[in-house]
Amino acid sequence: MDSCKELELQPERRFGPRNWPVLCRGRKGHLCELADQMPHQSPVDLQLSGEHTVECADKQGLKFVNYEELIVGDMVNTGHSVQFIPLKSLDPLKIHGGELDQHYQFLQYHYHWSQLDEHGSEHTLCGNHYPAELHLVHQGIDDPSKLAVLAIFLQLEQMESTALEVDAVVLPHIQHFNQKLVVYAHQLRSKLPNNVNSFVRYQGSLTTPPCSENVTWIVFTEPVAVSREQLNLLRSIKDCNDSIIYSNCRPLQN
């Protein structure tokens, strides 16, 4: 979309998902006006068995390149989420394997959540929501028009999460739209679940306009822990109207 104020994710709001087709209509490059006619929209409910099972790719594991390296980047309040963008590195972070069609380079990560524990993730697993969901976005190296997104469910636990340890220090300082802070000594591997060989892969779309169907989703079945305190830091983030973000999750598309 052209500005933060043109996009809302609460279904009942004026600029919510139901009205994205109207908002995007006639805008070059925006495909969400066709979303109702497009067959591979995200997010979806993921089933591990049954006739609606989405292809599971755990037989060929993912390969992570430089995910153990310490990286530096900016954490930004985008008005819709908080997003980490790495500074350019001589050794880019990449993924391949997992039946991906090419090598993909890490671009950014961001979070999805709501103010309700029972509804914060975009995807669901066997009909169950998690309180939040983390997306690690990668771009194709051979074909940059394609994206691969690693989706990680966040599950409430009493213990502090190493996955959000660095972010938790930064979040109180970027509560308002356009605020950003440099994040040092960041290791992307710490955000992944212990078992990275159990995931569901499917072909889908971006979950915000333009809703392009150019995304290979890899959704890990094992969640990572998030404490109540860490989750509340996400829930304190404000949008471009300086209002608390109630939810930044697109409704299920299946």
* Calpha distance 114→123 (Å, rounded): 13
Angle 185-169-158 from CA coordinates, rounded to 5°: 110
Is 136 in contact with 62 (CB distance < 8 Å)?
no
Distance (Å, whole) CA 161 – CA 68 = 17
Tell me whether residue 80 is one of the annotated catalytic residues.
Answer: yes
Q: Classify burial at 203, counting beta carbons within 10 Å of its beta carbon; exposed 0-12, middle 13-18, buried 19 or more.
A: middle
Using DSSP, state whether 141 is helix, strand or coil. Answer: coil
Pair 248, 80: CB distance under 8 Å: yes
Distance in angstroms between the alpha carbons of the first and the last residue of the chain: 24
3-class DSSP state for residue 114? strand
Handedness of CA 29, 33, 38, 44 (dihedral sign): positive
Q: Please, which residues bridge with residue 65 across strands?
A: 94
Per annotation, catalytic residue among 30, 52, 80, 186:
80
Q: How do 147-156 and 132-140 pair as beta strands?
A: antiparallel
Closest to 155 measured CA to CA, from 135, 132, 188: 132
Catalytic center residues? 80
